[in-house]
Copies of this chain bind each other. A is one copy, B any other.
Amino acid sequence: VWRDKYIAVDWGTTNRRAWLVGSDGATIGEFADDLGLMSVPPGCFDQAAADIRQRLGNHPMLLAGMVGSDKGWREVPYVAVPADLQSLATAISWIDPRTGIIPGVCQTDGHPDVMRGEEVQALGALSDGAAAADAYICHPGTHAKWIRLQSGRISHFRTMMTGEIFSLLREHSILAAQLANEVTDGERFQTGLAEARSGASLLTSLFTVRARKVLGQNPLADPSFASGLLIGSDVHAGLSHARPGETIAVIGRSDLCRLYASAIKAAGFDSQIIDGEQSFLAGIRSITQILEPQ
């Protein structure tokens, strides 16, 4: 089944991406749309998945991400840490023999935490040779993840609500009007990073955006300072669990990865940006090879 063409799907809350992969591992076709979970009515996932095959061909399909959550196609139980691609492959939930949903990963003792989707990218970066078997991975996003790989397995991880808090502030808060534009890595972003590193509370630092506005100290609307505060605070907390001198692997969307890499550099660590799409496809390919060894 999996030695010929197959379809890989990264299906999240607001978007989905699908790729048709050839027997040599090369991408033959792909598409992305905004048919995330929130846009699929309950009971309509069969149809929404059939739509993927109509566009990319009637091939076997592996899906990862929030599609396996209680708001997705079918709730797939999490695999507990430590987790590797073998444990993910073993716990795939099969809609039918040619359609499987990859489980997320959970951590139940100490710091309770969950992820769905990032585990394929993190372990895919490893199978692709981009990340080491012992690595510390930062995956920016709505719910950013800091993932520790030990001996090729996800041993523990930590979620930061950084992206969601930024969106809430941008869309609904008293700061909304000042956060509308694009974030750029300039002086304001760096000032935000520095304030976060100083250990100042986000609760008070964020309000200075408002105070500067009404005091006329910050005439240009620009979210870069606030973004620097939030990403700086995230990175400050994430790096508190880093080993001295280790290089952080940053995986994800390139614009966000560059901001995080800048924050990591400002905090005195090196980083290496790894393409999230390539990692995802490498992770899915490794799982197909576990399902059907050569």
Contacts and interface: CB of A to CB of B under 8 A. Distances in A.
B108 A217 contact: yes
A203 B237 contact: yes
Contacts of A70: 214
A97 interface: no
A93 interface: no
Interface string A143-163: 100000000000000111110
A32 interface: no
A224 to B, nearest CB: 17
Nearest to A207: B159
Given A160-B203, A201-B237, A215 B168 contact: no
A113 interface: yes
A174 interface: yes
A236 interface: yes
B113 A161 contact: no
A111 B172 contact: no
A111 B215 CA distance: 12
- Identify which of A161, A203, A230 gathers the most chain B CB atoms within 10 Å of its CB: A203
A112 B211 contact: yes
A168 B173 contact: yes
Contacts of A174: 164
Interface residues of A, number: 43
A209 B64 CA distance: 23
- Identify which of A107, A172, A204, A233 gathers the most chain B CB atoms within 10 Å of its CB: A204
Contacts of A237: 200-201, 203-204
Interface of A: 69-70, 78, 106-108, 111-114, 143, 158-162, 164-165, 168-169, 171-174, 200-204, 206-208, 210-212, 214-215, 217, 230, 233-234, 236-237
10 contacts: A106-B215, A111-B208, A112-B208, A112-B212, A161-B203, A165-B165, A165-B168, A165-B203, A171-B172, A201-B234
Given A160-B207, A202-B203, 18 more contacts: A78-B215, A112-B208, A112-B211, A112-B212, A113-B207, A113-B208, A158-B204, A159-B204, A159-B211, A160-B201, A161-B204, A161-B206, A162-B203, A164-B173, A164-B174, A200-B237, A202-B202, A204-B237
